Structure 1
Amino acid sequence: MVKQEVQKVLARYGVRKEHPVLVALSGGPDSMALLNVFMELGYSCLAAHCNFHLRGEESDDDEKFVVNYCLGRDIPLHVRHFYAKEEAVKRGVSIEMAARELRYSWFWELMDKKNLYWLATGHHGDDMIETFFLNLARGTGLRGLKGMQFRKGQLIRPMLALRRQEIEQYCYEQGIHFRTDSSNTDTAFQRNNIRHNVLPVMNMLNPSFFNTMMHNFRNLEEAWQIVEKEVISVRKEIVAEEGDQMMIPIRLIEKHPQRSTILFELLRPYGFNSQTVSEIIDSFEAIPGKQFFSANYRLVRDRFNLVVVPIREFKDELFYIDSEEKEILSPVHLKIRQFERKNDFRISRLPDCVHLDADHIDFPLVIRHWHKGDQFRPLGMETFKKLSDFFVDEKLSLVEKERTWLLLSGDDIVWVIGQRIDDRFKVTSNTKNILEIKVLNSVKERE
């Protein structure tokens, strides 16, 4: 049954024998059965084992077991040691999530290094059902409930239609030894809690629960395909991306009949969960400015848009420009030149290229972020204006304000870079020497 099922899946997804396969080998019944089937079918296999050092000597014994097994059958084996607990703390995630990220990162690295096409894992149907309940409790949306795929890119899971019990029975019948993870009985782990406490109840309520869930997964997959198509369409039509900033028009997402699901899927890649998405939707009726955070991103509910940007620690850094500088790359890419005013000189009207009276400028110039209380005299005005009021007039979002840089001469603001110069530094009929500063944005200009 196991061999036939694996063979059927491999044929369905075009996993041919001329393509070597990397098998993720833990030493448990699932991965041992999978490796054995591949070898029986005549595939060329490499094995990869991760020692996460989570169970002391038991983890080391698992490693010794797979090493001896592969040595005895001339199967190339690669072993990598990880310290999952320490990594989980460092990354601020669960041990299970840290271990998953570590092993897959290494698997893909190994695939590239060895020029392999297929990565095979021993996930089975019971794994998929357990993951369903985990994701149901976490609120991951339809994407997390639809189950695993037999094939996802170069990843193949040939045993998803099989039960754990069938795989273990296959091992006993074929005389395949395997290791049993003692932590599988520890219900402190959420997955084990579901396995030992939730699923027995479901099987008691419905003796055909496994088959029912396999049917449910097929239905959920089809439902997900409908949702995914709509998410792609909405993303293409209304989402704007500029650099590392993503903007979603509030008015358009608010009118969508499935706005909760669509917004969750748009924000999911940025780490926002369903609870936070609900709070974001509730904020549509509130005054602008509210912020929401995931682990690595910040969402600002602006007047017209939801603006998503990476979380950064803004330091009050100062950047200096000496009188001899012709170009700087950080924090803004600027080109600088000084020249004597000629009769045919024309003042720039572009916001990213300014002409200033060089004789009114004191070097070194300073570039910094704006501070509360900053004020300047916008070009054309005779009185000072607070920079915060200027930002309001220019309809700058909170994110745009935070990302605005100022050019200063001494303590005086010369230019709100890319926005407006100070009237005190403008070119007049008496100006003899010109300071030109240009913001470079395009690759062509940089070259």
Structure 2
Amino acid sequence: MLDLKPGSKAVLGFSGGVDSVVLSQFLLDRYNIRPYLLHVNYGLREESDEDARWCQWYAQEYRFEIQVLNADPSQRSGENVQNWARKVRYAWFQERAEALGAEYIFTAHHMDDRRETFLMNALRGSGLIGITGMNSALITRPLAHLDKGAILDYAKERELPWREDASNKSLKYTRNKFRNLLAPILDEVEPRWMGGLKKTVENLERDRDLLLGFMTQWKSEWTTTSGKEVMVKMGPWVKSEVGQNLLYKLAQQTDSGFNFEEVGHVLRGDVGQMTRGKNHLLIKDREFFFLVPAYEKDTRVYSIDSFEALDQLPFQLHLEKTSTSACIFDAHHEYLSEAAVQFPWTVRLWRPGDTFRPLGMNGSKKISDFLNNLRLPRHRKEQTYVVLKNETIIWVLGHRIAESARVGEGDNFAYLATLKIT
């Protein structure tokens, strides 16, 4: 028996087919859970509207609450229909679960679905995660270990109504080809194949969960938190599906808006590849993955005409006048000359084409090249501000002052700069 809390709030992906009908009744009978039904009308078949109306009838007849989402197929932009439909429904299920305060998101996948997934993914060359499938920690599948026959028996014994989906017999979809063409051949070749494959799937799922458990324990060795940033050090795990699963789960702990496939694109992508959750970004750098709060590009230009005006900046900048005899000239202290701290200043994000003469150099350098040489991750590079005086950059904030802002040998005073970006 599943370890479900009786009487819990839950949502159930509801198609109106026998699987979701049986699950709605099973949850109510066994756990006193009356799930909120969620039906997606994809608008892809002539029967779609009738399916939605039937689901609403069922909900009213059996006293369930229901909500129907009318999806727009024109929004899929050439994407595979089934992939698009999957993204739509799971994003909506998660959104509604959060809005309703649901503890569970239920779907009615069963053992026949798992066997089909195993065969399809095995032939595509998937790894351990892909071949076992259905591993989302956000989704609970109470029927996962039941065969279709047992589900049909349950429905018939209780005289439950359900709606047949004619598209299940269509050979347009790969899954239906496995179900309607390959399965009968396997029945003839090896009548016990379904039981054997069930054991194989369950064994591999145990191996998968064990490996993920070990990876979770090792996480502390290659994950570092600094302020609001999480840095994940790259390693051999990057090339594995297990690694993708773990990176996805780590991202989900911070922000539930990340998509599993998009996390995979970042994992396998080039340096700078990025995906967005609800409030965070996952960015691939040279040696780390960064999980950082999402940001919008600051297009403002700040005019600084006094020390008090520094307070308008989106970060903390403090300038303290000090005797040059007390200055500690090293990599940990930034000093500007008195002449450099003669307002007005202009402060803004750096722009393509910006140049400056870095402290200690004879010639000028493009800001883009300077930041690339520092090997800054994308989000830090994009959020680098510069200070201009008389339309000349005198300071790349947080990194280097310009030669023109340096403290000279004859200077008696200088300004110690303290920068804090939250």
Equivalenced residues, count: 401
Counterparts of 2:382 and 2:156 in 1: how far apart (Å)? 64
Correspondence for 2:303: 321
For residue 60 of structure 1, give the secondary structure of its aligned residue in structure 2. helix
1:141-193 CA deviation, whole Å, 9 max, x = no partner?
Answer: 312333547x957x543322222233234333432221112222333333333
Correspondence for 2:159: 175
Displacement of 1:105 after TM fit?
1.8
Counterparts of 1:382 and 1:196 in 2: how far apart (Å)? 73
Q: Residues 223 and 231 of structure 2 are in contact (CA less than 8 Å); yes or no, is this contact kept in structure 1?
A: yes
Residue pairs, 1:122-133, within 5 angstroms: 122-133=108-119
Residue pairs, 1:333-348, within 5 angstroms: 333-337=315-319, 346-347=326-327
1:48 lines up with 2:11 in the alignment: no
For residue 408 of structure 1, give the secondary structure of its aligned residue in structure 2. strand
Task: Say which of 393, 404, 415 aligns to 1:424.
Answer: 404
Q: Residues 52 and 68 of structure 2 are in contact (CA less than 8 Å); yes or no, is this contact kept in structure 1?
A: no
Counterparts of 1:441 and 1:58 in 2: how far apart (Å)? 56
Correspondence for 1:144: 130
Q: Residues 111 and 418 from structure 1, CA distance in 2 versus in 1: closer, same or farther, beyond 3 angstroms?
A: same
What is the alpha-carbon root mean square deviation over aligned residues?
Answer: 4.3
For residue 79 of structure 1, give the secondary structure of its aligned residue in structure 2. strand
Correspondence for 1:408: 388
Q: Residues 272 and 377 of structure 2 are in contact (CA less than 8 Å); yes or no, is this contact kept in structure 1?
A: no
For residue 160 of structure 1, give the secondary structure of its aligned residue in structure 2. coil
1:358-390 CA deviation, whole Å, 9 max, x = no partner?
Answer: 434452323332645723141xx3623535798
Counterparts of 1:24 and 1:262 in 2: how far apart (Å)? 27
Displacement of 1:40 after TM fit?
4.5
Counterparts of 2:264 and 2:12 in 1: how far apart (Å)? 35
Letter in 2 for 1:144: G
Q: Residues 139 and 273 of structure 1 are in contact (CA less than 8 Å); yes or no, is this contact kept in structure 2?
A: no
Structure 2 gaps of 5+ residues are 250-259, 277-281
Displacement of 1:356 after TM fit?
2.3
Correspondence for 1:157: 141
Counterparts of 1:186 and 1:362 in 2: how far apart (Å)? 74
Q: Residues 67 and 190 from structure 1, CA distance in 2 versus in 1: closer, same or farther, beyond 3 angstroms?
A: same
1:195 lines up with 2:179 in the alignment: yes
Residue pairs, 1:350-369, within 5 angstroms: 354-360=334-340, 361-369=342-350
Correspondence for 1:37: 26
Q: Residues 382 and 84 from structure 1, CA distance in 2 versus in 1: closer, same or farther, beyond 3 angstroms?
A: closer
Letter in 1 for 2:70: F
TM-score by length of 2: 0.75
Q: Residues 351 and 420 of structure 1 are in contact (CA less than 8 Å); yes or no, is this contact kept in structure 2?
A: no
**Percent of aligned positions that are identical:** 18
1:384 lines up with 2:370 in the alignment: no
Letter in 1 for 2:200: N
Q: Residues 342 and 208 from structure 1, CA distance in 2 versus in 1: closer, same or farther, beyond 3 angstroms?
A: closer
1:109-143 CA deviation, whole Å, 9 max, x = no partner?
Answer: 3540xxx5444432211122223234445655312
1:375 lines up with 2:356 in the alignment: yes
Q: Residues 430 and 91 from structure 1, CA distance in 2 versus in 1: closer, same or farther, beyond 3 angstroms?
A: farther
Correspondence for 1:236: 220
Counterparts of 2:111 and 2:387 in 1: how far apart (Å)? 62
Counterparts of 1:31 and 1:216 in 2: how far apart (Å)? 26
After superposing the two structures, state which structure 1 stretch, 412-421 or 35-44, moved more. 35-44
1:378-409 CA deviation, whole Å, 9 max, x = no partner?
Answer: 1xx36235357984997534646555433222
Q: Residues 183 and 54 from structure 1, CA distance in 2 versus in 1: closer, same or farther, beyond 3 angstroms?
A: farther
Letter in 2 for 1:141: G
After superposing the two structures, state which structure 1 stretch, 409-418 or 431-440, moved more. 431-440
Correspondence for 2:59: 70
Displacement of 1:220 after TM fit?
0.8
Displacement of 1:28 after TM fit?
0.7
Q: Residues 322 and 267 from structure 1, CA distance in 2 versus in 1: closer, same or farther, beyond 3 angstroms?
A: same
Q: Residues 84 and 98 of structure 1 are in contact (CA less than 8 Å); yes or no, is this contact kept in structure 2?
A: no
Task: Say which of 121, 129, 137 aligns to 2:107.
Answer: 121
For residue 47 of structure 2, give the secondary structure of its aligned residue in structure 1. helix
For residue 327 of structure 1, give the secondary structure of its aligned residue in structure 2. helix
Q: Residues 365 and 409 of structure 1 are in contact (CA less than 8 Å); yes or no, is this contact kept in structure 2?
A: yes
Task: Say which of 224, 243, 257 aligns to 2:208.
Answer: 224
Q: Residues 355 and 436 of structure 1 are in contact (CA less than 8 Å); yes or no, is this contact kept in structure 2?
A: yes
Correspondence for 2:233: 248
Letter in 1 for 2:316: L
Q: Residues 323 and 413 of structure 2 are in contact (CA less than 8 Å); yes or no, is this contact kept in structure 1?
A: no
Q: Residues 235 and 21 from structure 1, CA distance in 2 versus in 1: closer, same or farther, beyond 3 angstroms?
A: closer
1:83 lines up with 2:71 in the alignment: yes
For residue 39 of structure 2, give the secondary structure of its aligned residue in structure 1. strand
Counterparts of 1:389 and 1:102 in 2: how far apart (Å)? 38
Q: Residues 225 and 216 from structure 1, CA distance in 2 versus in 1: closer, same or farther, beyond 3 angstroms?
A: same
1:309-367 CA deviation, whole Å, 9 max, x = no partner?
Answer: 7899997956323213132443xx13245x7x566984465767644234344523233
Counterparts of 1:59 and 1:393 in 2: how far apart (Å)? 53
Counterparts of 2:262 and 2:10 in 1: how far apart (Å)? 35
Displacement of 1:299 after TM fit?
3.2
Counterparts of 1:193 and 1:350 in 2: how far apart (Å)? 70
Counterparts of 2:369 and 2:151 in 1: how far apart (Å)? 69
